Amino acid sequence: MEATGISHIAVCVRDMDKALAFYRDILGMKIAKDEIEDTSTGGLTHTYKHHRSTRRTVHIGWGGEPFLVMTSHPGDQADGEPIKLDQVGVSHLSFTVKNLRAFADELVAKGVEIAGGLEAFADAQGNVRTFFAFDPDGILVQFDSGIES
């Protein structure tokens, strides 16, 4: 295989409106596509744990690739819990931001929970190079400065 990069990451969310309030309104991502799909027939039926008739699919990002695909199932409740870093599966999303400390302060001011609090990620000099926050579904989202620690 000769891959050119990651095209997208997909996550299932319980409440699309709450997820959009985080990813679009707080993180500043833009919606490229928002549609309802029939999942009752075809290849998708083999990719679900439970029978689902429809799904709402939202493509969101900053333009280009990679982008985030969020899905929800109108009328159906998603099951399961977000995984942590020591569990099998995709454990988190990660984004590089320019002014990490200011961004963290902005997230906290908007009510976003920092996993363990921001100071848990500070080194002995008080510098923060990365931290984890929770999206509305409890999915871990990492933010870093792009500087190797």
- Domains of the chain, first to last: 8-72 (3.10.180.10), 92-144 (3.10.180.10)
Host H or E run for residue 108:
helix 100-109
Pairing of strands 30-38, 140-144: unpaired
Predicted pLDDT at 135: 96
User: What backbone torsions phi and psi does residue 148 show, to the nearest 5 degrees?
Assistant: -65, 135
How far is the C-alpha of 70 from the C-alpha of 61, rounded, in Å?
11
In the chain, what percentage of residues exceed pLDDT 90?
Answer: 58
The span from the CA of 135 to the CA of 60, in Å, is 15
Q: How would residue 148 be classed by pLDDT, with cut points 50, 70 and 90?
A: low
Write the DSSP symbol of residue 82: -
pTM of the model: 0.87
Reported residue count of the chain is 149
